[in-house]
Structure 1
């Protein structure tokens, strides 16, 4: 017997709600002109999708041939994950018609244990393998039980022989015949058990491979499907366009990029990685991608009481200034990153991107790459290193964002002339702003860093002077075909004092070579030219001096 489907329904107010809320649950008998049989199912395809961080806003369109009066139409199928309270239906203004009620009716049809007639050959093959494995496992169990009984029989026979020999009985022919029969039976059953176990292992491996292939090629048919029940009233017969929209979960997107560096030009392709498992495929839809966070609550933050109290400092504390070195990240100008959503940084403002052409995204839960935009810009390469952080020399490419939209934070596939070279990360970049993209490290460059520190305290003034010397050794290992010099930008840092009792001074006379620049954050920069196979040494010297009342330096 085939399983009987069961139906459940929930209604939602449409653009023209009824006067009474009771009519939303069921239509009055006088308002329905349908027969006892279910009306014909009218296709309601997906035409546009707006995908957000964890859900999608789906729009559907259908052309309806309406008759004068009130009718109930059945449209679909639609995904069972659609959110009922977000249903919204409207008709075109060309025909005087009104939407009275719209609801989702879900039908549950459980799958039987055996394949149906419309199942694929792969699914039937998997079912046959499962049946064969079950039969083999049962046969192995029976053979193990029989071997156990034969072992007990052989033990009883040997005990009988021992007891008979002790009593003086000598029936050698019968004993030999019985032992040969038991041993022969055990050998036969043992060989059958080994063959059955080997076949079971082979069937299990083949079944796992078939299930993996089916997981890549097919999806399980949905047991819970839905359709739309629409009640409309038309003043006259005619054709109208129905637009229906709703929210659905199980859909999300993330940005991704592909950067191709070719000499002095860089091509950046912007893509969207879309996943969806809504229960129905999106075929040739207008795709819009938004960074709106509809799931995040918009409640204002709670204000907590903050009490400030003043206390007199002890005399000993007033005579002593305690200082300490701390690490502080230098923040670059621009919008603050939004926390809570890894991989999507929109700078605190909702960004909307559009696919230039209709796309198709199957409901298989896998990642699908959708092209959004592409541009080519002039690139400026720079070899840079920060020896305090890493001994590697990296290549940084600077270019302008000419895409016409903001570049959201996401991974970048890096491609050079030789092919794929790695994966980097792109930060949020406004339209027209400059972009710094790291293209990995250079294997033919190395940097070694050594530091020395001396401390001197004057007995007369009780002033402490700390002198720190940093030596950087740069090396370039080049092939015989390279003949041009390369400039490596080396960056080091010196402490920045926030109190007047501590002074930091850069000794330019002791630095070799002299720094090219130093900013207000204490970052010292050199532009060091390196010839093929060349070596250079950069020396940085700075002093920190503090009075005798300073502690912690």
Structure 2
């Protein structure tokens, strides 16, 4: 039963697993042979497939998987880390033993020092000379000083050795802590009609590997683009992590957007019922019971309200400004893209190494240039800042998967945001920072209670509110402005909100009374928005959420 050396040749990584391809060759005589690949980490046995190439008429008769049992992971890297950990631990224990021996000697010296009255008695009785006593105490003092210095040095060395042991333990646990030490053996039975070289290829699915996308977004704006927008350079990365228990050396790497775990079954629709809430009855007390039972209560679910006016994230501080002309960037090596059914496969252009350390490893998938337009979004009811928003069209031939994005204005880091899943030719929007050249304010210009606070008919109180929003463009170019605000929504039938006027009318008004105005604001231009509304409610009702004066 010959062992065949079949290293990993290619890896295709999915969102939560990987497909491993191993290839090995042997020169064999004609006849039946059992080939064995040893020491493989745990994989999904039912995913194992085998194929081969060899002399005319070669056949694969059988494929089998058996277990290997190991006390520790057998990989050379794990064994190296274990040996280093053992040596560091030995050095740490040796230093602790030296510390104990030094402490014993210091105790002995202290015990001798406590005999000083006996020395004085010996000098008085002529049994010891004064010089001998002086020499002894000089030795004691020098030795005590040396021991004190040695104790401090040993303490520092022990702390350093202990820290080194803990660091090596973390490294060892990171590589082996999530890995089963037992291994698998693949056995393949083949039949050759003639002697020759046979090449065996096996594939299987293994857990403990994953990838996810991340992006760098660089906004580039030349002087000619100040009025019309800009373009962005988007670098599409794949972040690969694996802790399969085996390092991947010099492998052809592919990243697939297929999701095997989601492809097995579609969700079934179950009936949706609405029913009235019926409180649980209070249990009756038992006869002659000495204790009473408290009634059972049920807490209502708290309603989650969102006071924000936008679902999109807000970027960090930055402003768009023309930049000096710079030398072109160096080109990046990217992947080739293939369509595989409904999924995309990104094939890395060179073989790479990925250790089994559960650490992120980055590879570049693509580098694209997209057109980008800007608008300037503010919600002065929440904050009096204006955010730059880029409106970008995915003109590439690939889908942008959801992932984190790092944003740069030219070479300056702005912050991070998240890109949603974006199909080919679909738009996506990201915030790029704060534009301080546009000022926005929101002021309460009216707050009155009818008849000076006297209650109206049916004990109803009516309060009128009015707000003015002012936007001023101090920039040297026209800006496309988006203003967002809101009107209150009553959640009690005894509270009535009536809109008196909105000037100008909003571009969009939702059922949740979220208001949006969109307009172009020229250089040094100013636009005001005013709206009035009343709130009516019983005078005895304490209303939460009313605007303050």
Normalised by the length of structure 1, the TM-score is 0.68
Task: Give the gaps of 5 or more residues in structure 1.
Answer: 1-33, 312-323, 333-348
Match of 2:468 in 1: 471
Structure-to-structure mapping, 1:429-440, within 5 angstroms: 429-440=422-433
SS of the residue aligned with 2:150? helix
Equivalents in 1 of 2:143, 2:166: separation in Å? 34
* Equivalent-residue separation in structure 1 for 2:277 and 2:70 (angstroms): 69
Q: Secondary structure at the match of 2:395?
A: coil
Change (3 A) 1:291 1:179: farther
Secondary structure class of the residue paired with 1:405: coil
Alpha-carbon contact 1:91-1:241 (below 8 Å) kept: yes
- Assess if the C-alpha contact under 8 Å between 1:276 and 1:361 holds in 2: no
* Higher deviation after alignment, 428-437 or 461-470: 461-470
Residues 326-349 of structure 1, C-alpha deviation per residue, up to 9 Å, x if partnerless? 6588899xxxxxxxxxxxxxxxx9
Asked if the contact 2:395–2:424 (Cα under 8 Å) also holds between the matched residues in 1, the reply is yes
Contact 1:493 1:523 in 2 (8 A): yes
Tell me if 1:276 matches 2:276. no
The more displaced of 293-302 and 249-258 is 293-302
SS of residue matched to 1:357 = coil
Map 1:256-335 to 2 at 5 A: 256-263=214-221, 264-278=230-244, 279-290=246-257, 292=259, 294=261, 308=275, 327=306
1:441 and 2:396 matched: no
- Distance in 2, matches of 1:106 and 1:68, equals 29
Q: 2:543 aligned with 1:543, yes or no? A: no
Q: Which string of whole-angstrom CA distances, capped at 9 and with x for unpartnered residues, describes residues 53-93 of structure 1?
A: 332122223445454322111336x5423344432323459
Partner of 1:362: 354
In 2, the alpha carbon distance for the partners of 1:192 and 1:388 equals 71
What is the root-mean-square deviation of aligned Cα atoms in Å?
4.9
| Structure 2 residue 339 is matched with structure 1 residue 378 | no
Asked if 1 retains the 8 angstrom alpha-carbon contact of 2:36 and 2:186, the reply is yes
> CA shift at 1:423, angstroms?
1.6
- Residues 431-454 of structure 1, C-alpha deviations (whole Å, 9 max, x = no match): 321110111223555544444543
Aligned match of 2:191: 233
- Residues 508-536 of structure 1 deviation map (CA, whole Å, 9 limit, x = unaligned): 3xx4xx2552323433334577778x695
Q: Kindly provide the CA deviation profile for residues 456-481 of structure 1, in whole angstroms up to 9, marking residues without a partner as x.
A: 377358765442222345567x7xxx
Alpha-carbon distance in structure 1 between the residues aligned to 2:541 and 2:73: 77
Shifted more, 48-57 versus 456-465: the winner is 456-465
Matches within 5 A, 1:39-438: 39=2, 41-63=3-25, 65-75=27-37, 79-91=40-52, 95-104=57-66, 106=68, 108=70, 133-158=92-117, 160=118, 164=121, 170-171=125-126, 173-174=128-129, 177-178=132-133, 180-195=135-150, 197-198=152-153, 201=156, 205=160, 227-263=185-221, 264-278=230-244, 279-290=246-257, 292=259, 294=261, 308=275, 327=306, 351-355=343-347, 357-363=349-355, 364-438=357-431
> In 2, distance between residues paired with 1:460 and 1:276?
72
Stretches of structure 2 lacking an aligned partner (at least 5 in a row): 222-229, 279-302, 312-340, 544-549
The answer (yes or no) to whether the contact 2:309–2:485 under 8 Å persists in 1 is no
1:87 alignment partner, SS class: strand
Aligned to 1:346: none
Q: Distance in 1 between matches of 2:506 and 2:277?
A: 47
Q: TM-score, normalised by structure 2?
A: 0.69
1:151 Cα deviation from its structure 2 partner: 0.8
- Of 244-253 and 81-90, the range deviating more from structure 2: 81-90
Q: In 2, distance between residues paired with 1:68 and 1:325? A: 74
Shift of 1:487: 4.4
Over 3 Å counting, the alpha-carbon distance change for 1:207 and 1:328 in structure 2 is closer
Contact 2:448–2:464 under 8 Å retained in 1: yes
Q: CA offset at residue 407 of structure 1? A: 1.9
Q: In structure 1, how many angstroms separate the alpha carbons of the residues matched to 2:306 and 2:25?
A: 65
For 2:508 and 2:460, how far apart are their aligned partners in 1? 26
Give the Cα–Cα distance (whole angstroms) in 2 for the partners of residues 148 and 418 of structure 1.
65
Q: What displacement does 1:537 show?
A: 7.2
2:509 is matched with 519
Aligned partners of 1:147 and 1:186 also within 8 Å: no
Q: Distance in 1 between matches of 2:73 and 2:37?
A: 23
- Between the aligned partners of 2:305 and 2:262, the Cα distance in structure 1 is 38
For residues 443 and 11 of structure 2, the distance between their equivalents in structure 1, rounded to whole angstroms, comes to 58
For 1:82 and 1:299, the matched residues in 2 are separated by 25
Aligned length: 469
* Offset of residue 397 of structure 1: 0.3
Q: Relative to 1, partners in 2 of residues 1:552 and 1:234: Cα closer, same or farther, differing over 3 Å?
A: farther
Give, in whole Å, the separation in 2 of the partners of 1:252 and 1:88.
21
